Structure 1
């Protein structure tokens, strides 16, 4: 049995188990919601951990690069989004491949790389990426990544399916190595004897030569370049600035091809606080680039959980769960955030309070008008350190 077959079988078992558990949990939650107050369960399961140390995993390591992933298998709470931390040495190639189960988003953390991508209409694009750039490849679009040097490049990949594994992609060498030689010879137009020069198994990440010239032309001179760019220079866009930090946001509104995910790069100054808020239609997946933070989430019925994060940690907040992010430590904190929707939505506690009459707040909280008048009336985004 091949490793791929083992992987797919294991993945299938894992998916059935996960989806079965999810269905049971959904049924229990539905029954609890339909019950009258007198019938409500007296206790709810505590919130699970929502923290994972992706950079401390062994992952896949080869002579030309490495990949470490956080999928639902390693990080069970993250059912909707998977992530990969990948590094390529100069010239190294993440070979030609495609993903059947997920679209791919990425943010360049360090170094430079080149990508090629082809869409179903036959249009292609070759693009170079540097720190702060993002890309988005829709599900099923064939692509390749190559490190450009001079040093190693490091990028974070995000996928809109928590059960997707980077190690189970459709790779060109794997396909060629398993196709009958007679068929392959006809398709490639080369003698069967020449096929011995091709790899006998999947390469995944392999060594290559750093390009010595600018982007080359397509091999097919009649091929048309894509009219829908796969590249977005996130760090070059004007951010939303708040007293305690800033946010760079890219959704399908700014980057039309990015239809299934929204990305945010958030910078928090020492002592800053990302105010209480929730996202009504999307889960939130976090990767901590630098600095430290404390995250508190609220899951209803008195259930709260707090975790502390540092560089290389991944966090996850379920759709609709109230939460905050508190910067801790003396150095600024940088967080990359993904939402499994192309549209960005959030509701802040401050806006909610501001959208109600004072009398409602008095009655709801049982407080005097003088105190209700002091409550915030509009979102503050990221609050600065308290003096």
Structure 2
């Protein structure tokens, strides 16, 4: 008779043999991808599949949600807009508290994302905003000038006929005319001269060391106002080489010897610099003196206002660099308009810092500075923004009118490249990367990837939203 213990051992051996003959589940098959519902933010389980019912490559990789938490889909719009009159408290949903101490309501109204930042902000990012209205203003009899030094920008105003005196700089000068018209004159190192009248939306550019003058015409009863940009952030408008300042510090007998004239010829030369001073309105179409060496081969002015802008779903953009404005080898720029609710797409500039000047409207920028550092800033007309090279960012219109601004870049020197406008589009990058790689990073579907644009969207349409506290 078979003993009971022998039967028990036989059963165990049979069960072990059956288990070893059954294939183990593959560790490459992921758990269902979790998708948040927009209404509640909770996770639901779905599987992506093709029309024929077969699995897509989405199921062949472990989605990011299996490795940790996924991003929040809760809105992070500004908590108030320019029409809000207060109280201005540091509250976003359940976070923050009221301000019970002193608070500057004018500053608070313009900067909701500083008082109540988006929850996506994190870490430490230096301030990138500077209102020109906070810059020291240098007043003269013919106008004024104020500057901001990151790349180095000067906002200057000339009364009709007023002259920004004959001068030159160590660095190049690029200008965008904001209002009125300005007559510019210059002579280059080869004795070739130049004269032009530059109107609103147009540009001029003078290379380093090239002398020039600026004079407001009488075309506008207010004279002219313009933005000057210098590619060296250490430059100051106050360090300009001025004609009158130089001659005031040269002995009179040396002046006489230099020009072959009696010293008496210079008896009315000013003892101090003129800088900006009143003068008669220049004649229309005033010609330059005839030079035996001719005029400059590449004009120092460019009719940017006549360049057609490219239309995108959310606004327009037009670019100027040395490919169109040949003499401008150190400054490239784009003029961008963004309609209410739309945005200048998520992008970055590979090697060039961006100096942004806001011409009209209201907007905001979130700057991504790597290592989980991100910070959001609000901007109004007359503000300056500074975006370091390679920092990811966008520009969103948060107002009810068109947002218009300049993106300006130090695009190199005459001996270095590149001297062209450059940016990298996030949407284009993802659209032109193998889909499996994008899925492995973001856990998105084929339909989502198909929606990414293989051409740069540049300005993306949308709707305007304000988060109510």
TM-score by length of 1: 0.83
- 1:137 Cα deviation (Å)? 0.5
2:460 counterpart residue number: 383
What per-residue deviation string (whole Å, max 9, x for no partner) do you get for residues 22-60 of structure 1? xxxxxxxxxxxxxxxxxxxxxx97110000011343320
Q: What is the aligned counterpart of 2:209 among 131, 137, 140?
A: 140
Structure with larger Rg: 2
Q: Does 1:226 align with 2:296?
A: yes
The 3-state SS of whatever aligns with 2:256 is helix
Matched residue, 1:35:
none
Partner of 1:286: 356
- Equivalenced residue count is 334
The answer for the alignment partner of 2:272 in structure 1 is: 201
Say which of 149, 163, 173 aligns to 1:104: 173
CA spacing shift, 1:340–1:221, aligned 2, 3 Å: closer
> Structure 1's 257 and 212: CA in aligned 2 closer, same or farther, altered over 3 A?
closer
Task: Check whether the contact 1:123–1:224 (CA below 8 A) recurs between aligned residues.
Answer: yes
Deviation at 1:153, TM superposition (A): 0.4
Unaligned runs of 5+ in 2: 1-121, 412-418, 465-469
Q: Which 4+ stretches in 1 moved above 6 angstroms?
A: none
One of 290, 313, 328 as aligned partner of 1:243 = 313
Per-residue deviation, residues 271-311 of structure 1 (Å, max 9, x unmatched): 11111001101110011111010011101011001100001
* Alignment match, 1:39: none
Cα distance in 2 for partners of 1:222, 1:340 equals 34
- Contact 1:359/1:369, CA 8 A, preserved across alignment: no
Counterpart-to-counterpart distance in 2, 1:370 and 1:243:
20
CA displacement, residues 201-220 of structure 1 (integer Å, 9 cap, x when unaligned): 111111110023421331x5
Q: Is the 8 A contact 1:93 1:145 kept in 2?
A: yes
Match of 1:335 among 386, 405, 425: 405
Any conservation in 1 of the 2:185–2:213 contact (CA below 8 Å)?
yes
* CA deviations over 1:215-272 (Å, ceiling 9, x no partner): 1331x55341111111111120121210111112101111111101101111111111
Q: Conserved in 1, the CA contact under 8 Å of 2:191 and 2:291? A: no
Q: Indicate the residue corresponding to 1:215 in structure 2.
A: 286
The structure where helix makes up a greater share of residues is 1
Q: Report the CA distance between 1:194 and its aligned residue.
A: 2.8
Partner of 2:261: 190
User: 2:298 aligns to what SS in structure 1?
Assistant: coil
Q: By how many angstroms is 1:382 displaced?
A: 0.6
